[in-house]
Amino acid sequence: MNHKSAAAEPGAILNQLMEIARISALAEMASGIAHELNQPLGAIATFAQAGERMLNRPDPLLAPALDVFRQISQEALGAGEGIRRIRSLFEYEPTTRETCRMPDVIEELRPVLEMLALRAHGALEITATQAGLPEVPIDRLKVQHVLFALVQNAFDASVERAAEAQPRVRIAVSGDRYAVETSVFDSGAGITPQIREQLFRPFFTTKARGTGLGLASSRAIIEAHEGTIGFELQPQSGSRFWFRLPAAAN
């Protein structure tokens, strides 16, 4: 392998960093699930075997078997509780909030977003924003994570159609006195009706190497800010993903 050329290509570095983030998110999730489920599943198997022995004899031991069934059901409920604990990892509580101007939050992330553009051999445009937008009280890094996930998806979708058009992604901010809305437009093929309902489900992915956590974690973050997130198809082609954050009280 030629280390020199790999180090010289910023797109390649970004690829490697994203791969590490992807693997560690998945590894953490997998070990969490294994930790919560191994113990109850082992106990259920042991109890089930014991129950089978109690019933599978000329004089079945009904009372102890009944007890074993209760144990099995308890262990299964315990496993359900474990799964709820894992799901709660997605219910993110914002802790640190600062009052920010959304265009500044985007501008600060621009160099990183430009790397996504470079990697996709595409173009990123950040449209000039209207004057007089209110500020938003946010956990800045978390909201930047959402922006990153949306722009990454936008380039992924646009690259799939790159034979027809150069990958183009545009970010725009609009709003009124109540809320600020950030939009990410892509030049992809849009979203087929079959998958529209599932996009935000954890682990839903149509990509060979996707985690399916980008949109799920984004929704958790935006909803923890009392905001909303969604998407719509654009009239010609591609889609627009947007999130809306409530304005700071003034």
Residues at the contact surface with ligand ATP, assessed by CB under 6 A? 22, 149, 153-154, 157, 186, 188, 191, 195, 199, 204-207, 210-216, 239, 241
Distance between CA atoms of 148 and 140, rounded to whole angstroms? 12
- Comparing every residue's Cβ against ligand ATP, the nearest one is 214
Radius of gyration, CA atoms only, the chain: 24
> Which CB, 44 or 154, lies closer to Mg ion?
154
Tell me the closest approach of the beta carbon of residue 176 to ligand ATP, in angstroms. Answer: 25
CA end-to-end distance (rounded Å), the chain:
57
Tell me the closest approach of the beta carbon of residue 100 to ligand ATP, in angstroms. Answer: 24
Q: Could you tell me if 133 and 173 are in contact, meaning their C-beta atoms sit under 8 angstroms apart?
A: yes
Tell me the closest approach of the beta carbon of residue 171 to Mg ion, in angstroms. Answer: 16
> Which CB, 167 or 188, lies closer to ligand ATP?
188
Which residues of this protein are in contact with Mg ion, per CB under 5 A? Answer: 153, 214
- Helices vs. strands in the chain: H and E counts, helices first: 7, 7
Tell me the closest approach of the beta carbon of residue 240 to ligand ATP, in angstroms. Answer: 9
Tokens 């992604």, residue located: 169
Residue 120 neighbours by CB under 8 Å, 6+ apart: 155, 156, 158, 159, 162, 167
Tokens 């790999």, residue located: 6
Q: 206 touches which of Mg ion, ligand ATP, none (CB within 5 to 8 A by kind)?
A: ligand ATP
Residue 249 neighbours by CB under 8 Å, 6+ apart: none
| CA diameter of the chain | 85
Q: Which pair of tokens denotes residue 237?
A: 């082609």
> Which CB, 153 or 239, lies closer to Mg ion?
153
> Which CB, 38 or 198, lies closer to ligand ATP?
198
> Which CB, 29 or 43, lies closer to Mg ion?
29
Q: 137 touches which of Mg ion, ligand ATP, none (CB within 5 to 8 A by kind)?
A: none
Tell me the closest approach of the beta carbon of residue 80 to ligand ATP, in angstroms. Answer: 25
